[in-house]
Structure 1
Amino acid sequence: MMLRQLGGIALALALLGGGYALVAQVAGERGIAPTAASADIEVRGIAVDVTANSPEEARAKGWREAQRKAWEKINGPRISDSQLDGLVSAVVIQRERLGPRRYIATLGVIFDRQRASGYLGGGQQAARSAPMLLIPVEVSGGTYTTFEQRNAWQRAWAEFNPGTSRIDYVRPSGAGGDSLLVNFGQTGRHSRAWWRSTLDQYGAADALMAFARLDHQFPGGPVSATFTARYGPDSHVLESFTLKAEGPDEVPAMLVRAVERMDAIFIAALESGKLRPDPTLRLGGAGDIDPAIERLIAIGRAVRERAAAEAAAAAAGNLPGTEIQPVTGGDTAEAAVRSIVVQFATPDAGAFDGALGAVRSVAGVRGLGVTSTAIGGTSVMSVSYAGTLEELAAALEGRGFAVRRGANALAISR
């Protein structure tokens, strides 16, 4: 009887422990809510050190000095303090120490853009990007952290004001299920279905990854950091750069500079045309499917139909033959050039390059363009070919590829 009672108690404790483990995956202080994205002009990191007859007078003097320094930092013209007061909408206290007659602080100053534009001027707002899901990854001590626990890199992005940026950032707070949906593992996945499901949760069209690798030389000593900007489901690298902080106290300021520089990298990629949503992630509207995905679906259907036809022919004892139609056009006319979609397996970079080289070497190929790259998966190219689909398929089979035919599309593999 005692053994049965002890067994029941152990089972209950195990069940309670399992339930706690499930809750612990999303419990705790993880979330840092992003600041509002306003179009106002925000200048951070203004250091002041002033003295006065009282603490209140010292603080007022320090704030006024911060306003003047911030105005000079954005190249504002010379104006009076009373005019400057009318342009400031808020003063943000980043850090302050207040004494009986001294005020030392690091402040941020926010100017109202509508009122300040009369002094600064302002051009027309440039076109913004599609909504981009931001995934900040901090690498420290061999641990990759996004929203599993609060970290300085997550805080730097949460406090960044993207109101004047051309990038439409979608910034998860890290609360609730964010730590399960958006984590370091997500940055290495290539499955478009998985990515579409995640992006749909946040109303985003594509993803941006911001990596920060922090290397501490020794406890309390200098910290060097390598930052890498990536984008898309295949984690394409845009640019990397390094910064250094003399000590742990300077790390937050270094991360603020890194966020601003990464934003500039993403904007430059948008202007150069690199930062375009991956077409394989779009399902279209009103029930329509993206043309690239629709062609891949057509290939799958054609493969199934062909396999069924071959099975039926084999059962009847009559294997079907492949009839290849020659290119027609007479003595002076060349065969019409058509665009054919070719889906090709790319388990590694060598297979990717080899497939492109083999297709380019086929007689009649006038050009090709890669529309989707997925190292470790399946990539897609568009081939301009002077001939028929069957002729291109036969030529690729002659080069050792296994070829499956579809509606104006081929799927090849080794």
Structure 2
Amino acid sequence: MTSRFHPKNLRARMDEAGPKGRLAIMLGMAAVGSVIGMAATQLIAQIEGDRGILPVANSVDIQVNGIVVDVTGKTGQEARVEGWKQAEKKAWEQLKGPAMPIEAIDAMVSSVVIEREQIGPHRYVAKLGVIFDRAKAGQYVGGGEGGGLHSAPMLVIPILYSGGVRQVFEVRGAWQKAWAEFQASASPVDYVRPAGTGGESLVLNAGQAGRRSRLWWRNVLDQFNAADVVIPVARLEREWPGGPVKGTFTARHGPDNEVLETFTMSARDDQAVPQMLAQAVARIDGIYRNALAQGQLTPNPTLMSGSIAFDQALGELRGKLMSRDVDSVPRAASAPASVAPLITPEPVPLGEIQTVTVQFASPDAAAVDAALSAVRGAAGVQNAATTSLAIGGTSVMRVTVAGGQGALVAALKARGWQVSAGGGVIRISR
């Protein structure tokens, strides 16, 4: 038996039910309304709040962190200056730079980052970071103008297991924070690091790593302009509250969640966990670098099946059109001697496809659109997308171009842009 709801029927039933019945009906309606309201609130709560941490803009300079100095002097300020010089020298040695006087090293330093310092009357104890200007130091310690081997854009999904719960962007986690603060400009691996804001926390969750559907993965990667995925996993185990913390880290790759390498580290307590995670990020980056050098970090062919089929169909269509145009050329029975023969130009090879970082001033949204349009319209450009957007400052885009950095520089200059290149980064302006 079915019953249709109508306002007249509801009023009739309330009149028949009496005072107690009317009260029960009203309470039931209120309960149904509260359940609907709670469901709507839970849906909104899944995407509201502080989820992830924005990744830092990749610096094109060379940075060395975590240098500890302990220096004495006649005064605290004198000890501080001497401590900075020692930090610069230690940082240069870590970069395996050639032997130089401290004055020459100091001339290549753009800034000193103070992580922690204590200044006494005659002593200076600090933990510092040193940033070298790549334009000056790149010729001695790697980088320079060299392109080298670079990976395709890799989407990063950092999964953290802690306290029996696994997470990515559900809350602000220490593992995602460590990846957001990682300076990835010196790495040949092109990391695409989402912030986890808005709907990203629903799409990129811990369960995504276990999915195998190539169609689903293709849709996810297209949202972030990535060609493949890397999944760094951290598992934290605490022996007792406030005690040592053991971390097990695994570098995974691809839609099949392939394990590349696993290692363990430890921290004395929760206060030392952020430092351990930062070191683990650098070590996992080294694992991905080695995998790239060995040819293991290439995009899975099944992720590109749609693009490959499209390119094949486009090539067949181009061949048919070219053959039709050649056949349609009228052929004279006896061409005069002054007529030059028809010469079909040979196709010019596009060269190696590389990913290039482009910086541009972005005072407003119109400037961002203009820069993107210009780069996307340049010859040889296959893809261009912003990786760091700063309205009123300098924004960064990642460009995939055939022919590499030199081809992109020439194409942009031909379109009227002022272009300067250095350290593997192109800067454009009007």
Q: Establish whether TM, by shorter chain, passes 0.5.
A: yes
Map of 1:23-62 to 2, 5 A cutoff? 23-50=44-71, 60=81, 62=83
Residue 202 (structure 1) shift: 0.4
**2:95 aligned with 1:74:** yes
Selected match of 2:204 from 170, 179, 182: 182
Q: Deviations over 1:286-327 (max 9, x none)?
A: 981789xxxxxxxxxxxxxxxxxxxxxxxxxxxxxxxxxxxx
SS at match of 2:212: coil
SS at match of 1:288: helix
Counterpart residue number, 1:153? 175
Selected match of 2:158 from 124, 133, 136: 136
Instruction: Return 5+ residue gaps in structure 1 as ranges.
Output: 292-414
Selected match of 1:214 from 233, 236, 248: 236
Counterpart residue number, 1:167? 189
Which moves more between the two structures, 277-286 or 138-147? 277-286
Contact 2:52 2:173 in 1 (8 A): no
Instruction: Return 5+ residue gaps in structure 2 as ranges.
Output: 1-21, 314-430
Distance 1:174 1:96 in 2: 33
Q: Deviations over 1:20-77 (max 9, x none)?
A: 2112112222221112223321111112345678876665554444323222222334
Letter in 2 for 1:191: S
Selected match of 1:224 from 237, 240, 246: 246
Counterpart residue number, 1:277? 299
Q: Deviations over 1:352-372 (max 9, x none)?
A: xxxxxxxxxxxxxxxxxxxxx
Selected match of 2:110 from 89, 114, 122: 89
Number of positions where the alignment pairs a residue of Structure 1 with one of Structure 2: 291
Contact 2:228 2:300 in 1 (8 A): yes
Counterpart residue number, 1:198? 220
Distance 1:286 1:245 in 2: 47
Counterpart residue number, 1:333? none
SS at match of 1:47: strand
Summarize the Cα distance change of 1:7–1:122 in structure 2 as closer, same or farther, 3 Å threshold.
closer
Q: Deviations over 1:54-105 (max 9, x none)?
A: 8766655544443232222223344444433331223333344566776543
Residue 274 (structure 1) shift: 1.6
SS at match of 1:149: coil
Contact 2:108 2:136 in 1 (8 A): yes
Summarize the Cα distance change of 1:207–1:61 in structure 2 as closer, same or farther, 3 Å threshold.
same
Contact 1:209 1:231 in 2 (8 A): yes
SS at match of 1:66: helix
Summarize the Cα distance change of 1:89–1:266 in structure 2 as closer, same or farther, 3 Å threshold.
same
**2:133 aligned with 1:112:** yes
SS at match of 1:21: helix
SS at match of 1:282: helix
Summarize the Cα distance change of 1:99–1:137 in structure 2 as closer, same or farther, 3 Å threshold.
farther
Residue 211 (structure 1) shift: 0.8
Distance 1:11 1:95 in 2: 57
Counterpart residue number, 2:147? 125
Summarize the Cα distance change of 1:60–1:149 in structure 2 as closer, same or farther, 3 Å threshold.
farther
Contact 2:247 2:264 in 1 (8 A): yes
Contact 1:283 1:290 in 2 (8 A): no
Distance 1:258 1:73 in 2: 18
Q: Deviations over 1:184-222 (max 9, x none)?
A: 100000011111111111011111111111111112222
SS at match of 1:227: strand
Contact 2:52 2:176 in 1 (8 A): no
Taking structure 2 as the reference length, the TM-score comes to 0.61
Letter in 2 for 1:39: V
Letter in 1 for 2:89: R
Residue 267 (structure 1) shift: 1.5
Letter in 2 for 1:109: V
Distance 1:85 1:28 in 2: 44
Contact 1:55 1:103 in 2 (8 A): yes
Contact 2:52 2:170 in 1 (8 A): no
**2:289 aligned with 1:264:** no
Q: CA RMSD in A?
A: 2.8
Summarize the Cα distance change of 1:165–1:119 in structure 2 as closer, same or farther, 3 Å threshold.
closer
Letter in 1 for 2:248: T
SS at match of 2:275: helix
Summarize the Cα distance change of 1:245–1:54 in structure 2 as closer, same or farther, 3 Å threshold.
same
Q: Deviations over 1:341-362 (max 9, x none)?
A: xxxxxxxxxxxxxxxxxxxxxx
Distance 1:164 1:13 in 2: 54
Summarize the Cα distance change of 1:279–1:119 in structure 2 as closer, same or farther, 3 Å threshold.
closer
Taking structure 1 as the reference length, the TM-score comes to 0.63
Summarize the Cα distance change of 1:10–1:75 in structure 2 as closer, same or farther, 3 Å threshold.
same
Summarize the Cα distance change of 1:289–1:62 in structure 2 as closer, same or farther, 3 Å threshold.
same
SS at match of 1:174: coil
SS at match of 1:164: coil
Distance 1:224 1:185 in 2: 24
SS at match of 1:230: strand
Q: Deviations over 1:208-256 (max 9, x none)?
A: 1111111111122222211111111111111111112222222222212
Contact 1:66 1:107 in 2 (8 A): yes
Residue 181 (structure 1) shift: 0.8
Which moves more between the two structures, 111-120 or 138-147? 111-120
Summarize the Cα distance change of 1:115–1:184 in structure 2 as closer, same or farther, 3 Å threshold.
same
